[in-house]
Amino acid sequence: MDRGFLFGDGVYEVIPVYAGKVFRLNEHLARLQNSLDSIQISNPYSTEKWQSILTQLLEQAPESDQSIYLQITRGADTARKHRFSELTPTVFIELNPLVPKTKSELETGYHAIIQPDFRWERCDIKATSLLANIMYAQQAKQHQVEEVILHRDQSITEGATSNVFVIRNNTLFTHPTGKHILSGITRDLVIESACHCALNIQESIITIDEVFNADEVWISSSTREVMPITMIDSKQINNGKIGRHWSNVYDHYQALKNA
């Protein structure tokens, strides 16, 4: 009778661990809190308790890099009804080996397709109900591409499992945070790295045309880091060449990871 199973009534986080150190834990815990608050689930643990649970789990893990998958559901009820009262949340945590792609692997470039964003109006909640994302993932598999880039009324929102960046004339454009995208922890790090690499930052609407005429297109997520996209809907971006800005931002991101 767990509402996570019955209704997808829960939220989750994916947190990378590099060399045994949880990367940007506070930021992930803050986003988790936002997701929980949005759907009125009480956080079962304090920040200190989360830290100690994760430390204990990681002590049992091999040395290699890990990704922590953490899910909290509203808990098990006695009757299958949509309305809820206070329940004891269910917590599930899983560690998986994390093997980020090397720079030379990334330099081969990745392909994507663009599709209408038919998700709901609360994409800022990292919800476990992921039907739309599963449908996009299967489309990506069938088209043999890395990601499905989404648009609402011709404006790019984000990827099905990533944030999207367009670089043109030394400016990085990305959709503003809000209810139409998940505010990626990696997104913030990419913006920080891009600032460091002297790119101008513009959090604004990007049109589909601007994507096709971009100098560079990237996607980002905690497990993919920052990845160059060189072909979208069978059209090459910048003649299929990897951009120099991506290379600089990738290097700075690696420095942040290893700091």
The answer to whether 220 contacts ligand PLP (rule: CB under 6 A) is yes
Q: Taking CB under 6 A as the criterion, which residues in 8-37 touch ligand PLP?
A: 14
Could you tell me the smallest distance in angstroms from the CB atom of residue 4 to ligand PLP? 17
Are 117 and 160 within 8 A, CB to CB?
no
| Burial of 106 (C-beta count, 10 Å sphere; 0-12/13-18/19+) | buried
Smaller CB separation from ligand PLP, 87 or 222: 222
Examine residue 182 and tell whether it contacts ligand PLP (CB under 6 A).
Answer: yes
Known catalytic residue at 126: yes
Interface mask (CB under 6 A) for ligand PLP, residues 159-178, using x and -?
--xxx---------------
Catalytic residue, candidates 126, 179, 241, 257: 126
Q: Which is nearer to ligand PLP, 73 or 87 (CB)?
A: 73
Q: How many CA atoms lie within 13 A of 31 on its CB side?
A: 26
- Count of residues of this chain found to bind ligand PLP when the rule CB under 6 A is applied: 13
- List strands edge to edge, sheet with 66-73: 21-22, 10-18, 66-73, 90-97
Q: Which is nearer to ligand PLP, 32 or 214 (CB)?
A: 32
Q: Give the Å distances, CA to CA, from 120 to 116, 117, 154, 165, 184.
A: 12, 9, 17, 22, 17
Q: Does 158 bind ligand PLP (CB under 6 A)?
A: yes
Among 3, 111, 180, 187, the residue binding ligand PLP under the rule CB under 6 A is: 187
222 binds ligand PLP (CB under 6 A): yes
Q: Name every residue whose Cβ is closer than 8 Å to that of residue 134 and which is 6 or more positions away in sequence.
A: none
Q: Give every CB contact of residue 201 below 8 A, 6+ residues apart in sequence.
A: 171, 172, 174, 191, 194, 195
Q: 235-236 and 225-232: which strand pairing?
A: antiparallel
Binding flag, residue 221, ligand PLP (CB under 6 A)? yes
Report, as residue numbers or ranges, the catalytic residues.
Answer: 126
Sites of contact with ligand PLP (CB under 6 A): 14, 158, 161-163, 182, 184-187, 220-222
